[in-house]
Amino acid sequence: MSSLRSLAQSILDNVDVIESCLEAKGCPPPSWDVNAQDWLSNADSRDLRKSRETVLSATKELHDLLIGPRELIQVMGEHHNDLISSQAIIRYGIANRIPIDKKISYAELAASCGIHEHVAQRLLRHAILRRLFIEPQPGMVAHNAVSRVLLEDEQMRDFLAVSVEDLWPAATKTVDALQKWQKSDLPHETGFTLANNSTSSIYHVLAAEPNRGMRFANSMGAYSANPTYSADHVLKGYPWRSLPPAASIVDIGGSHGSIPIALAKEFGDINFIIQDLPMIIESVPALPDEEWASRVKFMSHDFFTEQPVKDADIYYFRWIMHGYADSNAAQLLKHLIPALKPGARILINDYVLPEPGTVSWWSETRARVVDITQIEILNSRERELGEWKGLFAMTDPRFKMLNAWTPEGSALGFIEAVWQPEETKPVDM
């Protein structure tokens, strides 16, 4: 069987699996209709996830093979245009200018935006080819399932806004930054820095512009809403019941504590301390008067200073380390050392980058897109297994990495190390 037929057959076989999963859950098939259901979250299952990834990967390979090498390069070069229509949709608030249950003319839309009708038409017709909005009849535009998400989901709207207003400009300056600051791992020597005419890191830039900072923070909620980032993967992905009675866990950089709260509700004999900067802790809503809440505490702490909570069983970092180059990530770990008892665990919940070709094209692409984003905004990185081992080794040989794994269906993996001070000599801080 030719590679084209083999790919086509794989697509057909796995579409059959997907349709069977949808039918078993009573879900209608995927659709662009404005009233279409969120079929993926309603029918999520192991078989569906696996077949979906296979279809997405196979269709991409089939697509690229049929384009051919020369035209594929041309298509790559044209990708710079893709975000123009998206930026216009965000900048002009176009999703909010179109009623959810009506169609309007390009002339009406252009007038409300203050642009030429032909410009509005060209921008929207480009967006429509990328599944944003529909043209139900010539000269008219209306919502579809995708644009409805932009209209109704603030987190997803902010995610696209950050992509086109913050990350896109940074991306265009990233190679300039690599040339200007060769081999730098400093967070203020990035494409984002150049794009913002700044000498500060993204954290300082966003802190100085509260509305922009809030938009960025809100956009991160779009990740949390994705099933691959669900707290359920944390609850089921680590042997929490194997911890000693009344175990203590410190969630470092844990924001409002969504993960510890989920764990506290599920496991009745674990105590949690969530640490973050004062401005974050001050914004934490009051906890309800329930038993689990008595085991959840919040504390202001800068994780670039010495850890004040001594002798905890686990020090937990969720999606923190990927924001720091090895030199700074090692400092985070070193600041734990005075607090660690023998046998204390360091549990990192972050990407474990796959070796090339060891997972589906779709999964590997999602991970490497995030990795490239770290270069453009922070000079940081996602890490492969060997790079996680190297981070602990360079920090202090008394950290012994035990294991790393990624639960099925999860974007983030677990990296676990233990503190064994009796075996080796310390590294100077």
Q: Catalytic residues, which ones?
A: 322
- Which two three-digit tokens encode residue 134? 């529909």
Residues 6+ apart with CB under 8 A from 164: 83, 86, 87, 90
Of 369, 305, 316, whose CA–CA distance to 338 is shortest? Answer: 305
Strands 296-300, 270-276: parallel, antiparallel or unpaired by DSSP? Answer: parallel
Within 10 angstroms of residue 268's Cβ, the number of other Cβ atoms is 9
Q: Could you give the CA distance from residue 219 to residue 215 in angstroms, rounded to a whole number?
A: 6
Helices 46-67 and 3-25: crossing angle, nearest 10°?
Answer: 150
Within 10 angstroms of residue 157's Cβ, the number of other Cβ atoms is 22
Q: Could you give the CA distance from residue 113 to residue 186 in angstroms, rounded to a whole number?
A: 41
Give the CA diameter of the chain: 76
Give 64: exposed, middle or buried? Use CB within 10 Å, 0-12, 13-18, 19+: middle
Contact yes or no for 336/307 (Cβ under 8 A):
yes
Q: Could you give the CA distance from residue 318 to residue 415 in angstroms, rounded to a whole number?
A: 10
119 phi, psi to nearest 5 deg: -70, -45
Contact yes or no for 382/388 (Cβ under 8 A):
no
Q: Could you give the CA distance from residue 97 to residue 278 in angstroms, rounded to a whole number?
A: 39
Strands 413-419, 345-350: parallel, antiparallel or unpaired by DSSP? Answer: antiparallel
The helix (run of H) or strand (run of E) holding residue 359 is none
Contact yes or no for 130/137 (Cβ under 8 A):
no
Give the three-state DSSP class for 270: strand
115 phi, psi to nearest 5 deg: -130, 165
Give me the amino acid identity at 93: G
Contact yes or no for 409/49 (Cβ under 8 A):
yes
Sign of CA dihedral 279, 280, 286, 292: negative
The helix (run of H) or strand (run of E) holding residue 228 is none
Per DSSP, 163 falls in state I
